[in-house]
Amino acid sequence: MIVNLDRREWKIKFSWVKAHASILSNETADRIAKEAARSTDMKCDFHKIPKSTINREADEEAMQKWQREWTTSQNPAATRQYFPTIQHRSRSK
């Protein structure tokens, strides 16, 4: 597991390799990946949502809420002339 390798301070590097170029390690990796994809009894650990996705979706939801409040509020009416949307306001910093 990658976590175990990380604890042992292994450095893992991913790089592109031309497919079907008779590179033994690439052919082996390709074969193993295909076997895993076809397997129905393999445990899958990819059901978790990455933190970056959660953060991005939370940011989008917050911006939508802010925009709804900005659009409907009477308080920022004068400022809204200069910053009609939240995107305009956030870019002006």
Q: Which residue ranges make up each domain of the chain?
A: 2-38, 51-91
CB 85 within 8 A of CB 67: yes
Q: What is the reported pTM?
A: 0.34
Q: Model confidence over 25-50: pLDDT tens digits?
A: 888 888 888 888 888 776 666 566 67
The residue type found at 81 is Q
Distance CA 59, CA 33 (A): 35
More confident residue, 56 or 44: 56
